[in-house]
Each structure stands twice: as C-alpha cells, then as structure tokens.
C-alpha cells in the first residue's frame, strides 16, 4: 500500500534555528506532493506543493521543499524559524487514483 | 480564503444515538472528502465524492455513510454512535479538473466524543 512517512513526530527548536522535516513516500509513479500546516485552533491549510518542473518549491512564510525523485523524498525546510511557526505539519502525496495520502504529521514547537 | 464549513465543531453524544456531521462548501468544487484523524496519527480517508450522486468508501473502513444530493453539501451520518467513533472528522474539497492544482481545502473539523 502507498504510504507517506514523516521521520519526526515531535520537534522542538529555538527561534532562529534552521528547520528540516523529513518526508518519504512509497508511490513510484508520477506524484504530486504537498505540505500542509495546521496552526493551533485553525484549519489545515496548504503550505506548498510540487507538480512538475523545478524540484525546489517555495511556499508561504519562507518555507521551501525539495523533491528528490531518486530518494522518494520531499523534505520541508526553513532557514530561520519563528515562534509563530509552532504548528503541526503534514506531508501528503496525490497518487494516480486521485487520492491524497497523508503522513502522521510532525508537531513543531518553537521556543521563544 | 477557503470557504468550507463544518458543524458542529464539537459534539459529545451518548452511545446509540444517530448523528449527522454537516459539511458545506461555496467554491463549486465537485470533489469532496471526509477524513478521520486521531491525535498523532495520519488523516485517513473514509469517504469521497466526485460529484452529485457520487459517493465512494475510502481506504479506512467506516460505519458511517454519506450522501451528495447537492454539489455544496456532503453530510456524514452515523446511525448508531459508539465510543470507537470518538475522533476528529475533517471535511475537504478540491478544485475541479482543469483548475490545475488538486489542492484540498479543509474545514475546521468536528471533534466527536461518544460516551
């Protein structure tokens, strides 16, 4: 079965630290990749997405992610986190059946 | 701003009761979805619809049922609630083919507790 694996379930960082959240997926065909974020008390919302072209995609709030096809990875990065980045982050892949499969999420806590 | 609404936001109900979780969207999206999410776990697709009168079961078996009589409305019903149904239920919709990005827009969720 297709799956999405997020390496870290809970990450704690200080403000200004660099962030990288790992994501690997198992589906071998053409994929569309997403990172969603859920801030405390808010809806899940799209952070960034990859469909084709440049494998380095930039999203909102200074986040970026790199699609590495050979590694089946789509890691999320931010060079300098802020307290307001405290949230839960979900990696997801859309497969050929037009279903989106989500990872278990990474809860990010930024210390002020 | 995504316009997808869910009611109620929180529901505590006794075992055996029938409940309906409401979901509506004003974006004209054909595709709609219901996910179940437990704390620290991934979102599991339990139902989806590709348009009016279309409903399909998702990857996670669920005792709930759905209907899609109108494009904007996709309610989920539990005929007889049980404690095992305690969870958060998220509704989503996605853009129509040709609009390109397949992004899903999520509602705020309904947190259901069955006692």
Place of tokens 């053409």: A30
Looking at B1-115, list the stretches that DSSP marks H as alpha helix, in order from N- to C-terminal side. Answer: none
Per-residue model confidence (pLDDT) at position B1: 54
Say whether B103 and A49 touch across the interface (CB within 8 A): yes
- Predicted confidence (pLDDT) per residue in B22-35, tens digit: 999 999 999 999 99
Quote the CA–CA distance of A62 and A68 in Å, as a whole number: 20
Nearest CA in chain B to A4: B42
Quote the CA–CA distance of A46 and A38 in Å, as a whole number: 9
Place of tokens 């892949």: A93
Say whether B103 and A34 touch across the interface (CB within 8 A): yes
Task: Give A48→chain B minimum CA distance, Å.
Answer: 10
Quote the CA–CA distance of A66 and A77 in Å, as a whole number: 8
The residues pairing with B114 across neighbouring beta strands, listed in sequence order, are B13
| Among B27, B45, B103, the residue to mutate for chain A (most A Cβ within 10 A) | B103
B13 touches chain A (CB under 8 A): no
- Predicted confidence (pLDDT) per residue in B49-101, tens digit: 999 999 999 888 788 999 999 999 999 999 999 999 999 999 999 987 666 66
| Phi, psi torsion values for A107, nearest 5 degrees | -90, 115
Per-residue model confidence (pLDDT) at position B100: 64
Per-residue model confidence (pLDDT) at position A29: 74
């Amino acid at each position: 079965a297709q799956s999405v694996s997020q390496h870290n379930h809970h990450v704690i960082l200080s403000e200004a630290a660099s962030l990288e959240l790992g994501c690997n997926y198992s589906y071998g065909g053409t994929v569309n990749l997403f990172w969603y974020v859920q801030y405390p008390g808010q809806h899940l919302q799209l952070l960034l997405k990859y469909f084709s072209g440049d494998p380095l995609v930039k999203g909102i709030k200074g986040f970026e992610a790199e699609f590495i096809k050979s590694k089946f990875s789509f890691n999320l990065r931010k060079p300098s986190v802020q307290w307001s980045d405290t949230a839960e982050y979900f990696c997801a892949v859309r497969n050929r059946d037009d279903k989106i499969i989500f990872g278990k999420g990474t809860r990010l806590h930024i210390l002020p | 701003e995504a316009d997808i609404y869910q009611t109620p936001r929180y529901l505590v109900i006794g075992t055996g009761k029938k409940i309906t979780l409401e979901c509506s969207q004003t974006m004209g999206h054909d595709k709609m979805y219901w996910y179940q999410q437990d704390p620290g776990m991934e979102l599991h697709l339990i139902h989806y619809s590709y348009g009016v009168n279309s409903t399909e079961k998702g990857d996670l078996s669920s005792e709930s049922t759905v209907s899609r009589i109108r494009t904007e409305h996709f309610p989920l019903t539990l005929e007889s609630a049980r404690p095992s149904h305690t969870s958060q239920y998220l509704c989503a919709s996605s853009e129509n083919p040709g609009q390109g990005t397949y992004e899903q827009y999520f509602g705020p969720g309904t947190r259901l507790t069955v006692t």
